[in-house]
Amino acid sequence: MSRPRVSLPDTAEAGEIITIRALISHVMENGQRRDSSGETVPRQIIHRFTCAFNGEPVFACDLDTAIAANPYFEFTAKVPESGTFQFEWHDDDGSVYTDERTISVG
Amino acid sequence: MTQKFKTSITRRHFGALLGAGAATLAMPAYLRAQGRPRVVVVGGGPGGATAARYIAKDSNGEIDVTLIDANETFTTCFFSNLYLGDFQSFDDITHNWDQLVANHGITKITAYATGVDRAAKTVTLDNGDTVEYDRLVLSPGIDIVYDSVPGYSEEVSEIAPHAWRAGRQTQILKEKLDALEDGQHIVMVAPPNPYRCPPGPYERVSMFAHVLKRKGFENSRIYVIDPKEAFSKQALFEEGWARHYPGMVEWYGPDIHGGILNVDAKAGIVETDFDTFEGALLNIIPAQRAGAIAHEAGLTNEAGWVPIDPYTMRSQEDEEVYVLGDATVAGDMPKSGFSANSQAKVAAMNIRGDLTDANVFPARYANTCWSLIETDDGVKVGAQYQPTDEKIESVSSFISQTGESDELRKETYEESLGWYDGIIEDMFS
């Protein structure tokens, strides 16, 4: 259901600062809303997003219920060497959505 | 619809009893043309049809009115989204000029107007004829700037319809919408400002979602790739999408998608700087400009639209040519059928003032744009306008609020149905 999307360059110079953009399609149900029969719709949000490079943490963020649907992050990272960026989105229902992108430095 | 038709018949009978005026209209066209000032109207939509009707009706036969439109029927672009959502049939939104001709002695020429010779005061038609005018009204609507979206063209629009001019395009879009299966997605590329019907793309998204939801599709998504950072009635639409269609609509502004790189209609993909979006249905709505004849007539500015005199709707280039509706730079007024209809009445009054001894009063304009988000969930935005030396300026405005009651939203929707019947009668009866 929820699809992650990530954008970053395929290549970089050693030590270059690149921009990473990450977005996931997610309803971010805040737990306050009522459905048409008046029942409260249970909370279901992405509550944590992380980005790592070759296993080293780069960026992490806890999200709360005020975040709108389809949360989007844009941040920068310094790329010391070729490697892989790993991304994780943690859902309230226990599922973890992942994506990764390789970047070559040369 | 039935009621509207009955009213029209009543008016036609009334017209037949008019006596002197009706007798004048019964004379052969070549006799009538002798000595009477001639108004030629190009384009039979909400601007042109309204102008033709008001000039003919209110001048009691003193002015000879010719309406030129390339088509035999007119499908309204307003309410065409409601056809996509199965709230209206195609017949409901398709009309013709027969009563306008019968009731007001207007001559309808079915031909495409290809050019204007402003020095000779003639309009050239694609059938080779020329038509002389004393005053010209151009209400040509919009042209689609196909190449404003990389990979898009008129040919591609057969596969990935824009449906931003109602007619066959609308039907192609409807056929493709109805053929979708669960799990197949829709990608809409929204247009940049300024364009016809500012809330239109987002009402259309709502109607797409309405159809998918009704079919019980849980795995289909609607991706909106927008060149604008914000859009008309955004808070209302976003509230409605979250309420009625949670998780189904994903809107991407330019700071996220980073620009539209290419549309590959055969492959069903829209490439952006951010990501590639796949859809079984692509609805590509490119940039727009004034209809071709406004360019042919040399009345457009660098942006492709026609500057007008805010007090009269005269072209700023030629005081004997009036331009109406979507083709114009109408200041604070949006490009809408309601606006065109309102502008047409101002132009009609001024033309009667030009050509007869009719009184001319200060111009007043109005507009309302209604949108349907889900069954009985209607919203609106609108304003009253006055001319200034600079532009047509909004003097008071209103907009639906988030969190309104279901009753109020239903009332707003029903108001739009009443407006539709009203404007159709104002254009075509």
pLDDT in tens, B301-347: 999 999 999 999 999 999 999 999 999 999 999 999 999 999 999 99
B373: nearest Cα among B340, B398, B418, B406: B406
Kindly report the three-state secondary structure assignment for every residue of B45-84: CCCHHHHHHHHHHHCCCCCEEEEEECCCCEECCCCHHHHH
Sequence length of chain A is 106
Contact call for A25 and B250, based on CB within 8 A = yes
Q: Quick one: pLDDT band at residue A34, thresholds 50, 70, 90?
A: confident
Kindly list the residues from chain A whose CB atom is less than 8 angstroms away from the CB atom of residue B256: 21, 23, 72
Kindly list the residues from chain A whose CB atom is less than 8 angstroms away from the CB atom of residue B250: 25, 69-70
Beta strands B328-329 and B306-307: pairing type? parallel
Kindly list the residues from chain B whose CB atom is less than 8 angstroms away from the CB atom of residue A70: 250
Q: What number of C-beta contacts closer than 8 Å exist between A and B?
A: 29
- Residue from the list B242, B247, B274 with its beta carbon closest to the beta carbon of A5: B274
The Cα–Cα gap between B49 and B281 comes to: 34
Kindly list the residues from chain B whose CB atom is less than 8 angstroms away from the CB atom of residue A33: 242-243
The pair of structure tokens assigned to A104 is 């070559």
In this prediction, residue B35 carries a pLDDT of 85
pLDDT in tens, A42-73: 999 999 999 999 999 999 999 999 998 889 99
In this prediction, residue A35 carries a pLDDT of 78
Q: For domain B146-286, give the CATH number.
A: 3.50.50.60
Superfamily of domain B2-141+291-362: FAD/NAD(P)-binding domain (3.50.50.60)
Cβ of residue A26 closer than 8 Å to a chain B Cβ = yes
Mean pLDDT within B55-75: 97
What rounded mean pLDDT belongs to chain B? 93
The Cα–Cα gap between B391 and B332 comes to: 8
- Residue from the list A7, A21, A29 with its beta carbon closest to the beta carbon of B246: A29
Q: Quick one: pLDDT band at residue B28, thresholds 50, 70, 90?
A: very low
Cβ of residue A21 closer than 8 Å to a chain B Cβ = yes
Cβ of residue B258 closer than 8 Å to a chain A Cβ = yes
pLDDT in tens, B356-406: 999 999 999 999 999 999 999 999 999 999 999 999 999 999 999 999 999
In this prediction, residue B6 carries a pLDDT of 39
- Residue from the list B219, B242, B275 with its beta carbon closest to the beta carbon of A5: B275
Mean pLDDT within B39-54: 98
Phi first, then psi: give them for residue A45, nearest 5 degrees: -130, 165
CA–chain centroid gap for B314, Å, is 19
- Residue B83 identity: Y
Q: Chain A closest CA to B213's CA: distance in Å?
A: 14
At residue B257, does pLDDT exceed 80? yes
Q: What angle do CA B178, B179, B183 make, to 5 degrees?
A: 105
The Cα–Cα gap between B58 and B50 comes to: 12
The Cα–Cα gap between B180 and B190 comes to: 20
Q: Chain A closest CA to B192's CA: distance in Å?
A: 23
Kindly list the residues from chain B whose CB atom is less than 8 angstroms away from the CB atom of residue A27: 242, 246-247
Q: Chain B closest CA to A95's CA: distance in Å?
A: 17
The Cα–Cα gap between B288 and B303 comes to: 10
B47: nearest Cα among B112, B140, B178: B140
Query: Can you spell out the DSSP letters for A29-64?
Result: B-S--B-TTSPBPPPB-EEEEEEEETTEEEEEEE--
Question: Which chain B residue is nearest to residue A35, measuring alpha carbons?
Answer: B243
Domain ranges for chain B, please list them.
Answer: 2-141+291-362, 146-286
At residue A80, does pLDDT exceed 50? yes
In this prediction, residue A37 carries a pLDDT of 83
Contact call for A26 and B247, based on CB within 8 A = yes
Give the pTM: 0.88
- Domain B2-141+291-362 and domain B146-286, same fold? Reply is yes
The Cα–Cα gap between B12 and B99 comes to: 8
Mean pLDDT within B114-134: 97
In this prediction, residue B29 carries a pLDDT of 45
In this prediction, residue A69 carries a pLDDT of 85
Cα dist from B309 to B156, B329, B348, B395, whole Å? 38, 10, 14, 18
Cα dist from B97 to A70, B59, B424, whole Å? 48, 19, 11
At residue B198, does pLDDT exceed 90? yes
The pair of structure tokens assigned to B317 is 């280039």
The Cα–Cα gap between B335 and B315 comes to: 17
The Cα–Cα gap between B206 and B250 comes to: 12
Q: Quick one: pLDDT band at residue B189, thresholds 50, 70, 90?
A: very high
Q: Quick one: pLDDT band at residue B16, thresholds 50, 70, 90?
A: very low
Q: Quick one: pLDDT band at residue B255, thresholds 50, 70, 90?
A: confident
pLDDT in tens, B222-239: 999 999 999 999 999 999
- Residue from the list A21, A69, A72 with its beta carbon closest to the beta carbon of B242: A69
In this prediction, residue A2 carries a pLDDT of 73
Q: Quick one: pLDDT band at residue B34, thresholds 50, 70, 90?
A: low
At residue B4, does pLDDT exceed 90? no
Cβ of residue B250 closer than 8 Å to a chain A Cβ = yes
Cβ of residue B403 closer than 8 Å to a chain A Cβ = no
Beta strands B377-387 and B392-399: pairing type? antiparallel
Pick the more confident residue, B241 or B15.
B241
Kindly list the residues from chain B whose CB atom is less than 8 angstroms away from the CB atom of residue A25: 221, 247, 250
Hey, CA dihedral for B132, B356, B296, B423, is it positive or negative?
negative
Kindly list the residues from chain A whose CB atom is less than 8 angstroms away from the CB atom of residue B182: none
Q: Chain B closest CA to A26's CA: distance in Å?
A: 6
In this prediction, residue B26 carries a pLDDT of 47
CB count, 10 Å around CB of B400? Answer: 19
Domain A4-105 listed as CATH 2.60.40.10 = yes
Cβ of residue B235 closer than 8 Å to a chain A Cβ = no
Q: Chain B closest CA to A37's CA: distance in Å?
A: 13
Asked if residue B123 lies in contact with residue B130, where contact means CB atoms within 8 angstroms, the answer is: yes
Q: Quick one: pLDDT band at residue B282, thresholds 50, 70, 90?
A: very high
At residue B7, does pLDDT exceed 80? no
At residue B251, does pLDDT exceed 50? yes
pLDDT in tens, B93-111: 999 999 999 999 999 999 9
